[in-house]
């Protein structure tokens, strides 16, 4: 069982790092994890 199983997740990606959709795609493999918000921001 994963630590993220049966959790609601907010994803904050970085434009110059790992974008939100890439993190969201990885979380799609976790059974029971639900992404409720996903975005890619520019932190300067």
Q: What percent of the chain has pLDDT over 90?
A: 86
Instruction: Kindly report the pTM of this predicted structure.
Output: 0.81
Residue 1 has pLDDT above 70, yes or no: no
- Over range 18-30, report the average pLDDT: 94
Residue ranges of alpha helices (H) inside 1-44 are 20-27
Segment 17-39 mean pLDDT: 94
Q: Which of 2, 32, 35, 5 is nearest to 20 (CA)?
A: 35
Nearest in space to 13 (alpha carbons), one of 43, 39, 44: 39
CA separation for the pair 7, 35 (Å, rounded): 8
Match 């979380």 to its residue by tokens: 27
Provide the 3-class DSSP secondary structure of residue 36. Answer: strand
């Amino acid at each position: 069982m994963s630590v993220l199983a049966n959790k609601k997740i907010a994803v904050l990606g970085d434009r110059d790092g790992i974008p939100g959709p890439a993190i969201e795609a990885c979380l799609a493999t976790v059974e029971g994890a639900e992404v409720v918000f996903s975005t890619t921001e520019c932190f300067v």
